[in-house]
Amino acid sequence: MNATEHIGLCQRLGRALFAGLAFMGAVTARGGELTAGWVALTNYRADEAMQVFAVGAQAADARVAREARFGRGVALLTRQPVTASQVEEARELFRALAESGTDEFAQGARFYLGRIAQHHQEQPDPEEAARQFRQLLAEHERSVWAQSALGRLALLQLYALDPGFTPAQRIAAAERLLAQAHVPAAEGEVRVAIAEAIFYYRLPAQLALPHLLAAERLGGSDRAGRADLLLQIAELSRLAGLKAQAARYYHLFLRENPRDTANYNARMHLAEVEPPVPAPAGP
């Protein structure tokens, strides 16, 4: 697995972009004019969403028109197959929004400018992506868009930026981003990304354990992600000789995932850290 493939894996551990779309549809559409567009996008119907946003762009209410332009940009990035011309049109829409205000549409537009540079354009530009994410964090650190950008910036710091950095320096740079995490989801994404990078760079695995424990306490993982998290904590705790902690997380894993294919090994390792209580002797 190369670094690009690993970044993709880590991104799948984070929040889907459609969480941001749901947020926008829930709190920004005035009078419901654009709600149907956001609903269509969350259901992967980009063409339908673009029709709604095309009508909204002609609205007399400037805020509705602005939201509609933002919506069209997002739809262009989700309409399959995504072409270079779609990406360029979306970039121009987002650039105009980002440079013409400080509202949630300007913030969301800057987030997507970072995403385009990181992910959508033919030749990724990690430096430009990081610049957009850092500006968003500098100007609106506690906003939903800045907090969504934090995990993406962490991935760039861990794998793409500062080519002269050693793996340990990359980890340290990503850890410094934790000071800017103000919601559990953002902190959890960064901590899981750091833990995965520790494994990827084959640094001492025990360095990942505090990050995984923190991510588990923060919650928010989907079912598969939580299963992986519980098992990783259990295994690292066992290897570190933390028997009580290992047993606790093996039990959690087994209770929450009774049909998982990893159950056999989990039970075997649980027996190592928590030997079964022998049955009482007969009379």
Q: For residue range 70-92, what is the model confidence (pLDDT) as tens digits?
A: 999 999 999 999 999 999 999 99
Q: Which residue has the tokens 């992910």?
A: 119
Task: Retrieve residue 137's tokens.
Answer: 């964090």
Tally Cβ neighbours within 10 Å of residue 229: 22
**pLDDT of 265 above 70:** yes
**How far is residue 148's CA from residue 13's CA, in Å, rounded to a whole number?**
13
Q: Which of 185, 175, 255 is nearest to 219 (CA)?
A: 185
Q: Where are the alpha helices (DSSP H) in the chain?
A: 3-13, 17-27, 35-42, 46-56, 62-78, 84-98, 104-115, 126-140, 144-159, 167-176, 184-200, 209-218, 223-239, 243-256, 263-273
Q: Are 245 and 209 in contact (CB under 8 A)?
A: no
Give 283: exposed, middle or buried? Use CB within 10 Å, 0-12, 13-18, 19+: exposed
Phi-psi label, residue 257: left if phi above 0, alpha if psi -120 to 50, beta otherwise: beta
Instruction: Return all residues near 204 (Cβ < 8 A) that are at least 6 apart.
Output: 198
Domains and CATH numbers, the chain: 3-193 (1.25.40.10)
Mean pLDDT of the chain: 88
Of 24-33, 53-62, 166-175, 181-190, the least confident: 24-33
Q: Are 148 and 135 in contact (CB under 8 A)?
A: no
Q: Are 134 and 168 in contact (CB under 8 A)?
A: no
Tally Cβ neighbours within 10 Å of residue 34: 25
Helices 184-200 and 167-176, packing angle to 10 deg:
180
**pLDDT of 280 above 80:** no
- Which of the four pLDDT bands, split at 50, 70 and 90, describes residue 275? confident
Q: Are 147 and 182 in contact (CB under 8 A)?
A: yes
Q: Are 36 and 184 in contact (CB under 8 A)?
A: no
Between 14 and 72, residue with greater pLDDT:
72
Say what the pLDDT of residue 5 is.
35
- Which of the four pLDDT bands, split at 50, 70 and 90, describes residue 277? low
pLDDT digits (tens, 9 = 90+) for 146-160: 999 999 999 999 999
Say what the pLDDT of residue 36 is.
92
Residue 124: cis peptide before it, omega within 30 degrees of 0: no
